[in-house]
Structure 1
Amino acid sequence: MIGVELQIRIAYETAEMLEQLKAIYQKQSDINFTKGEVLSKAIMATYDQWGETEWDKVLSLPVKIDQSDEVSAGALRPKFQIANDIEAKITELKESIRLGVGANFVKNGAAVKFVLRLALYTLQNDRVVSVESVISDTLDHFVEAEEHPETKATLQKFAAEVVNQLELNDLL
């Protein structure tokens, strides 16, 4: 494969997401994936969403991370063998995130965390991340925890009104 080697430092949670995506992709395809292939697949799977993604909300997306396997210390400094076109997409991703969160710059490790979380969320929820989906997911979380029917109804009414106001003001 013609490409580059990218070695970065990532957080423990990012390493867990990488391993979980690797397991999901391997189960879907019945073939083994390298870490570079997992990253490339996550980038390609989410690439069409980047323009509509609210990057400032991605890290708060509710994802279920399987913590059954212990992440090794070496997994926190992975080496990715990636193609040149993926390297260009990472540069594009960093710029999109930088603009979306209002940062001066975005490091490779942060970009990887954002894209892995977005890919995992998309796989787990099978839909594009949007303001509406974030409100809906948050509402579901609170409604599940609430015992009183009146409070549940009030929460649902409030969320519906928020979405309605966002639509009326062309924010959705």
Structure 2
Amino acid sequence: MIISVGLYFRRKGIIDFVEVARRFPQYKFIWFGHISLYSIPKDIRRIVQYDHPDNVIFPGYIKGDIIEGAYSNADLFFFPSYEETEGIVVLEALASLQNVLVRDIPVYDGWLKDRKNCYMGNNNTEFSQLLEGIVEKKLPDLSKNGWQTAQAKSIPHIGKKLQNIYETVLS
């Protein structure tokens, strides 16, 4: 099972998610998220409603134990977003000890490192090759490295860093 989480926006990579899913009918792809279908472009609405392969599911917005279980039990978190401000869902996936495949975009510079704590691709061909390698366990499991990355960005860890900065400035 390959999952993603996000609103039904083109910039989130929803079209690429579905196109990659077409190449792997043997795997189940689930995109969690929701937005009013009347507020999105017609081509995206068509994809969500009916123009996707049978192995793709759009269950809508899910919270609590169900989404936590999806993060923890998926084979891969695949997030082909073209643009992010932070990538909170990526942090959630890393914190869930999940292998992560993302698009190589600038927002991840400095904290996500390809083949160290995640896998990065630039197009659907690369995503397909990496996805197969990860799911079929031909590539190393990076979930523990990813978890360490998420812990370094946790509120207690960041709070401690801020406390140290304030103490240094005030002393």
Richer in helix (by share): 1
- Structure 1 or 2, whichever has the larger Rg, is 1
Richer in strand (by share): 2
Q: TM-score by structure 1 length?
A: 0.29
Q: TM-score by structure 2 length?
A: 0.29
